[in-house]
Structure 1
Amino acid sequence: MLNSALINSEIQKKWLQKLEGVKDEFQSHADENDRRSRFPYENVEWLINEGYTLLTLPKAYGGEGATVEDMVVLQTYLGSIDGATALSIGWHLSVVGQLFEQEMWEQDMLNRFAQAVREGALINRAVSEAETGSPTRGGRPATHVTETDDGYIINGVKTFTSMSKGLTHFVVSAYVESLEQVGFFLVKHDMPGVEIADNWNMIGMRATESHDLVLNDVHIPKENFVEIRGAKGKKPNGWILHIPSVYLGIAQAARDYAVDFAKTYSPNSIQGTIGEISTVQQNIGKMESLLLSARHFLWSTARMYHDSGEQIQVWNETSASKVLVLNQGLEVVDLAMRIVGAKSLEMERPLQRYYRDMRAGLHNPPMEDMAYTNIAKSVLGLL
């Protein structure tokens, strides 16, 4: 459980207690799901049934109305339990939070989708493509739509569609030929022509089942054309902090494992445990300092986001959070593995999974070079 002094809302207290109650059960699935590249269906089903997917839906729409800070705290703890579960459900929480906070869709569509979320819907954006790389770089998607009398026909392939087999809704980016603009379309999983390619075979975050989403002549009703890229201007999106939250949690789990190991491992070449060796103590001190730094930076950024009226000052903090947490988190995992030694490479131990999952985080948005460039442009007055 997290330090109680850091918990400052009833939502956090309630959900931390509930997650603590299923910690052992969630972790019992993690190794097998990773080996088989299998989505954590049982974990996500529990989260839906308990109402966790309503966390970032505003109270006015029947949700819990959690803040970005609430989400960050809870996702950090869930990430320490099982990274793949946390990252998967985090995409849903993030999309829902941003959609309703920024009122990105027409009111009628927001109302309809809120009802779907209350009934157990899961959503993620499907924007990455093999041809364009990261969507944050602004490439024009090869996925395209053509207009018909009663809607649109969409064709294309989207990569890195996390939670693909568990999703009920996708927000798909596509080039709208008639407008010569990039639009976003709400696609339901059971529409004819929607397929999951079943081709996710990565070394990290294997259980997210981030397969390709294949769209073959999918008919989209007119009202499901929900966004035009850039139409409402660019705003800070604190909900994207769900990403570093998960990886902070994974780093915390690596630290916890290494500390427990140091307390109990006692080879016959020494008196006592390895926790009494100065080198091990130095590495534990480094791990703790890195985690303290990352945690306070990330959580303070989340608090600033909803405490500030226009949220102008959090552009740089939001970008830097992911870069700082990932890089320091990777160092924490490396130190944990040094403490445990060669045993950290054993497949039966979770440290090797933590390492692989942390590496995957480098390729979640924002990319490091883009984050640094945008921060620099802000400092130089070039944005």
Structure 2
Amino acid sequence: MTHARTPASALAKAPELARLFAEGAAAADRDGRLPVDNFRRLHESGLLQLVIRRDRGGLGGGLADAVRAVSTIAQGESATALILAMHYIQHGQIAIESGYWPQALADRLVRSSLERGALINAAYVEPVNGSLAHGAVPHTRARRVGDHWLLSGHKKYVTGIDGLSWLRTIGVTDEAEPRIGFFLVPADAPGIRVERTWNTLGMRSTSSEDVIFEDVRLPLENFFGDAPTAEGLRNSPFDGIWYLLLVAAVYHGIAQAARDDIVRFAREHAPGSLGAPLASLPRFQDAIGQIEVWQTAARRLLHSIGRDYDEAVSAGNADERLDGLAADASVARLAVIRDAIQVTSLALELAGNRGVSRDNAFERYHRDTLAARAHNPQAHLTRLNLGNRALGQKRVTPLRDGAAQADRIEALVP
């Protein structure tokens, strides 16, 4: 068990862990293999328990602490950081104690994380309907049989499945009046099958495979956050802010690793024809200066929004500030990922032939940041929502099962 007693003491261990994780990053990427041992070390360091409340046995860290941890770990190994981010999203929501998570389920998740480092992630996307952001009712169905549910369905891109203990998935009941909601599923439950489909350009070691549920037996109390299907899913309003900021923090960390490597390369590499390090060239000075602009702006944006969120929670007025914080987090995600891609692209270009060699990390950094574009919600949907917010209106996507329905615009102001 960890000796960390405060968020600061756990975070102080993150840089050394990142250096350790970096030693296996290239092999994990090459083999498309999740570096599961990294999570044992995260548990031992206290970082897995970072955002669990103190009165539950955790360290009591907030969103700003989570941003720092994720960004630092991403500098060493990107898949580990992404799965850590997804774990924090669920536990950060529990820590708010808004009544969204049933107490018994929250207690079980917290206890398993503290005792054995159990990881949790969401499993929402489906092969046919894709993401609920596009307005589809999930095909995953739950049949009630006596005192339990039998859950069946197919989910895609379940990040970290080879290391998870829990899945939070979305499904619809087979009742006369169907309900849509969340199911908490043990990842080792009978009836779960993993299909190896993850073969991508970047983030290759995230183990983001397909998961098939075939009559997975669950207690009735493992269904929560439910509403009539016609009303749509009841997402926790806090969920999105954690998700947007922590996903962005992953790619900021990868870009920071590229920044550090290109600075080191420029200082140390001295071509014979030049007779001096590349750092002496104005072209390199200018380009690395531009990287500093992108990375500094991204870091300040992520950390300031994280602090604003934590301050709002501490002051007890987070509900009042949710809309503004969510909009800021959406902007941060777009800007940070855009700049991370630019950082890794420029670093690769500056490194020349070494940049595209698999013997160096530059090309992996760039491939990993390009993969950021696949995360929901897609950039154009985020811009639409931000634009409509500025225009005093909102876009409403009705849930649908089959036939397409057009989005509608509702005015927020006269």
Please tell me the TM-score bracket, short chain as reference. Answer: over 0.9
Establish whether residue 52 from structure 1 lines up as the match of residue 56 from structure 2. Answer: no
Determine the structure 1 residue equivalent to 2:258: 254
Q: Which amino acid aligns with 1:55?
A: L
Determine the structure 1 residue equivalent to 2:356: 345
Determine the structure 2 residue equivalent to 1:4: none
Determine the structure 2 residue equivalent to 1:282: 286
Report deviation, 1:16.
Answer: 3.5
Report deviation, 1:158.
Answer: 0.6
Counterparts in 2 of 1:237 and 1:256: CA distance versus 1, 3 Å: same
Does the 8 Å CA contact 2:53/2:60 hold for their aligned counterparts?
yes
Q: How many positions carry a matched residue from both structures?
A: 374
Determine the structure 1 residue equivalent to 2:275: 271
Q: Which amino acid aligns with 1:112?
A: R
Determine the structure 1 residue equivalent to 2:311: 307
Q: Which amino acid aligns with 1:47?
A: L
Determine the structure 2 residue equivalent to 1:359: 370
SS of residue in 2 equivalent to 1:375: helix
- Partner residue of 1:29 out of 21, 24, 27: 24
- Partner residue of 1:136 out of 123, 129, 133: 133
SS of residue in 1 equivalent to 2:185: strand
- Partner residue of 1:71 out of 53, 66, 69: 66
SS of residue in 2 equivalent to 1:362: helix
Q: Which amino acid aligns with 2:36?
A: Y
Query: Sequence identity of aligned pairs in percent?
Result: 29
Establish whether residue 239 from structure 1 lines up as the match of residue 260 from structure 2. Answer: no
- Partner residue of 1:111 out of 85, 107, 117: 107
CA distance in 1, matches of 2:91, 2:290: 37
Determine the structure 2 residue equivalent to 1:196: 194
Report deviation, 1:15.
Answer: 2.8
Report deviation, 1:11.
Answer: 4.5
Does the 8 Å CA contact 2:18/2:75 hold for their aligned counterparts?
no
SS of residue in 2 equivalent to 1:165: helix
CA distance in 2, matches of 1:114, 1:273: 52
Determine the structure 2 residue equivalent to 1:7: none
Report deviation, 1:12.
Answer: 5.2
Does the 8 Å CA contact 1:319/1:366 hold for their aligned counterparts?
no
Counterparts in 2 of 1:236 and 1:192: CA distance versus 1, 3 Å: closer
Which whole-Å deviations, capped at 9, do the CAs of 1:142-178 have from their partners, x for residues lacking one?
1111221112111111111011011111011112232
Counterparts in 2 of 1:13 and 1:62: CA distance versus 1, 3 Å: closer
Q: Which amino acid aligns with 1:285?
A: G
Equivalent runs, 1:40-189 vs 2, <5 Å:
40-101=35-96, 102-119=98-115, 120-178=117-175, 179-189=177-187
Establish whether residue 321 from structure 1 lines up as the match of residue 318 from structure 2. Answer: no
SS of residue in 2 equivalent to 1:81: coil
Does the 8 Å CA contact 1:322/1:366 hold for their aligned counterparts?
no
Report deviation, 1:25.
Answer: 2.2
Q: Which amino acid aligns with 1:374?
A: N
Counterparts in 2 of 1:262 and 1:202: CA distance versus 1, 3 Å: same
Does the 8 Å CA contact 1:100/1:110 hold for their aligned counterparts?
no
Determine the structure 2 residue equivalent to 1:296: 300
Taking structure 1 as the reference length, the TM-score comes to 0.93
CA distance in 1, matches of 2:36, 2:274: 45
Taking structure 2 as the reference length, the TM-score comes to 0.86
Does the 8 Å CA contact 1:252/1:291 hold for their aligned counterparts?
yes
Superposition RMSD in Å: 1.7
Moved >6 Å (runs of 4+): none
SS of residue in 2 equivalent to 1:170: strand
SS of residue in 2 equivalent to 1:287: helix
Report deviation, 1:233.
Answer: 6.6
The unaligned stretches of length 5 or more in structure 1 are 1-9
Determine the structure 2 residue equivalent to 1:5: none
Which whole-Å deviations, capped at 9, do the CAs of 1:101-140 have from their partners, x for residues lacking one?
1332222222222212222221101001121223333321
Report deviation, 1:66.
Answer: 0.8
Does the 8 Å CA contact 2:139/2:153 hold for their aligned counterparts?
yes
CA distance in 2, matches of 1:204, 1:360: 5
Does the 8 Å CA contact 2:20/2:76 hold for their aligned counterparts?
no
Report deviation, 1:180.
Answer: 2.6
Q: Which amino acid aligns with 1:380?
A: L
Report deviation, 1:226.
Answer: 2.2
Counterparts in 2 of 1:271 and 1:291: CA distance versus 1, 3 Å: same
Does the 8 Å CA contact 2:142/2:152 hold for their aligned counterparts?
yes
Determine the structure 1 residue equivalent to 2:347: 336
Which whole-Å deviations, capped at 9, do the CAs of 1:28-51 have from their partners, x for residues lacking one?
111111110111112111112333
Identify which range, 117-126 or 156-165, moves more after superposition. 117-126
Report deviation, 1:305.
Answer: 1.2
SS of residue in 2 equivalent to 1:358: helix
Report deviation, 1:304.
Answer: 1.2
CA distance in 1, matches of 2:39, 2:122: 18
Does the 8 Å CA contact 2:70/2:85 hold for their aligned counterparts?
yes
CA distance in 2, matches of 1:354, 1:233: 33
CA distance in 1, matches of 2:73, 2:258: 14
Counterparts in 2 of 1:185 and 1:236: CA distance versus 1, 3 Å: closer
CA distance in 1, matches of 2:362, 2:123: 30
Counterparts in 2 of 1:163 and 1:275: CA distance versus 1, 3 Å: same
Counterparts in 2 of 1:232 and 1:128: CA distance versus 1, 3 Å: closer
CA distance in 1, matches of 2:192, 2:305: 38
